[in-house]
Amino acid sequence: MTTAAVQRILEQGVRSHQAGDRTSAARCYLEVLATNPENPDAWNLLGVATLQNGDARTAVQHLQTAQQLAPQDSNIAANLSSACLQVKDYSAAEKAVRQALRLDPSNSMAWRHLSSTMRFLGRVPEALQAAERSLELTPGHDDSIAQLGAMQLAAGQLKECVRTLERLTGRRRIRPDVLTNLGAAKRQLGEFHEAKKLLDEAWEHFPGQAEVLTNRGNALLAVHRPDEALEMFRMALAKQPNSASVLSQIVDEITMLIPRFMKDLNEAYALLNQSASQQAGIGE
């Protein structure tokens, strides 16, 4: 296959990929690899498509092959780090993304991946710094804005998170991560009904995502609708039955809400006592 033919097929695959047809895209990449098995671009693109199709382990293999063929390509290293994150190999993810940044310190995508890696490792200040650097490099990029908002939420910078993520509301593209994180921030700020509105919208557009379901359940708990909240939690666990993060978030939220519900019960009990005393006085 000539160089021109390879380029034409790769471009056709990228167009299909950008249009959301990852199956057709993968066929194009495989067609190239059938005759050009040492083409790093084809392995890289196939790895990204495979990752987006939910097969992270195979994606890691494809991207490792791409990196072996093109060890100086920063974007390939950054994509590999993203795939390693999905299989929870955080050490390999950090190694790959730091390699990407050594090759190209201005790679905004790599800074976003470093931010996510640091977040998973529990190093929130470093995650926040990496997200800030990504946005400095690409000030208007939606992914960089969303990443910074997510890290501000993780760092407890709730008002800053709201300001950041509200830059993305009203866009044509509806993002579940933006709606979910913005809803979570507003809930923690005590804006319970606004939070529920945002999470209702997330659920309407993305009803199958466990994180959306969990956060909507938390919002429902906050507005005293426990039966509906429980249904959301059950649906989330059906999607990810072994998800420690989903279980932890549910337990943390219920634990946090118990004192507030107890306060409400105590206030109600006091009001009942006050009412009973007033009724007793009238009777006298």
Residues 94-119: pLDDT tens digits? 999 999 999 999 999 999 999 999 99
- What is the pTM (predicted TM-score) of this model? 0.77
What would you measure as the largest C-alpha separation in the chain, in angstroms?
A: 103
DSSP string, 223-249: TT-HHHHHHHHHHHHHHSTT-HHHHHH
Residues 11-39: pLDDT tens digits? 999 899 888 888 899 999 999 899 889 99
What number of residues does the chain have? 284
Residues 207-248: pLDDT tens digits? 888 888 888 887 887 777 877 877 888 888 787 766 555 556
Residue 153: what are its φ and ψ, rounded to 5°? -60, -45
Asked if 184 contacts 195 with a C-beta cutoff of 8 angstroms, the reply is yes
